[in-house]
């Protein structure tokens, strides 16, 4: 039995997230149907994380087991012929037997895109968050620095997926601006449910003066979700990069 790892990307606008569900169209469900037609009976495809409805992925990793003898390098071409235009497989390899797209992941980077404009751009509809005023990038950058490190992030998670611990390590949180466009990059060893979007919402509160940058450490210590900023809309969020060891890590670059 082979263990195949895929690199893919998708526009999440019309999907109810990654995770396969009975009644909603999902990325996993759509991909599974295509892989089954190419490789035969694949019972389950494991994704590197549960992206929410409307969230996009510039890079995503998934793995599945199959007895198909189709060479790995030919799989992207075969699978893509059966996928809609908003999902694309860009690479595939035979992964080690013990590889698991979620459990083997070392860290992930998300990007959140904001357009500071009162006028919407139809070409960015569903791909960026339109915020109708300027953001204080300096204050937000100072606050973002307080998220870096190992902390309990219960104050910036939504109740939903159960987890053994709410402690995570954020490796970096960078903010850049080009004209009206603001981009936030956050990398961590793992993310809690809605954690990235809640951190962005909290930084927007800092820009608005509702929370001071220096209050972030104390806010995290409270573990109280009510004290942090809102969960911003999903359509500005992109899974940008995933890190693995070995051959899969090389494929994901």
Cβ contact 32:45 at 8 Å: yes
- Among residues 11, 24, 41, 52, the one annotated as catalytic is 52
In angstroms, the CA 234 to CA 10 distance is: 14
Please list, residue by residue across 89-112, b when 16 or more beta carbons sit within 10 angstroms of its beta carbon and e when fewer do. bebbbebeeebebeebbebbbbbb
> Coil, strand, or helix at residue 240?
strand
Q: In this structure, what token pair is assigned to residue 200? A: 């962005």
Backbone dihedral angles phi then psi of residue 78, each to the nearest 5 degrees:
-70, -45
In angstroms, the CA 236 to CA 232 distance is: 8
Cβ contact 161:227 at 8 Å: no
Cite the beta strand spans of 18-80 per DSSP E: 46-47, 56-66
Length of the chain as a residue count: 253
Q: In this structure, what token pair is assigned to residue 176? A: 């850049």
In angstroms, the CA 58 to CA 110 distance is: 9
Q: In this structure, what token pair is assigned to residue 41? A: 């009976």
Catalytic (active site) residue 52: yes
Q: Active-site residue numbers?
A: 52
């Amino acid at each position: 039995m082979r263990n195949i790892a895929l690199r893919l990307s998708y526009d999440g606008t019309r999907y109810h997230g990654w995770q396969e569900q009975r009644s909603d169209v999902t990325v996993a469900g759509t991909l599974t149907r295509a892989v089954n037609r190419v490789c035969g009976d694949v019972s389950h495809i494991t994704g590197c994380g549960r992206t929410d409805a409307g969230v996009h992925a510039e890079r995503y990793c998934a793995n599945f087991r199959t007895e198909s003898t189709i060479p790995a390098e030919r799989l992207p071409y075969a699978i893509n012929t059966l996928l809609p235009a908003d999902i694309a497989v860009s690479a595939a390899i035979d992964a080690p037997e013990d590889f698991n797209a979620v459990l083997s992941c070392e860290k992930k980077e998300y990007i959140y895109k904001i357009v500071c404009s009162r006028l919407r751009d139809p070409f960015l509809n569903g791909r960026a968050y339109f915020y109708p005023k300027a953001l204080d990038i300096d204050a937000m950058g100072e606050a973002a620095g307080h998220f870096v490190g190992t902390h309990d992030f219960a104050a910036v998670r939504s109740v939903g997926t159960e987890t053994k611990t709410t402690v995570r390590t954020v490796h970096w949180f960078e903010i850049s601006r080009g004209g009206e466009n603001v981009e936030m990059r956050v990398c961590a060893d793992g993310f809690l449910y809605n954690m990235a979007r809640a951190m962005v919402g909290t930084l927007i509160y800092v820009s608005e003066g509702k929370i001071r940058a220096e209050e972030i450490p104390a806010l995290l210590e409270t573990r109280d979700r009510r004290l942090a900023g809102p969960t911003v809309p999903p359509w500005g969020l992109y899974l940008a990069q995933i890190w693995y060891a070995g051959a899969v890590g090389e494929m994901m670059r």
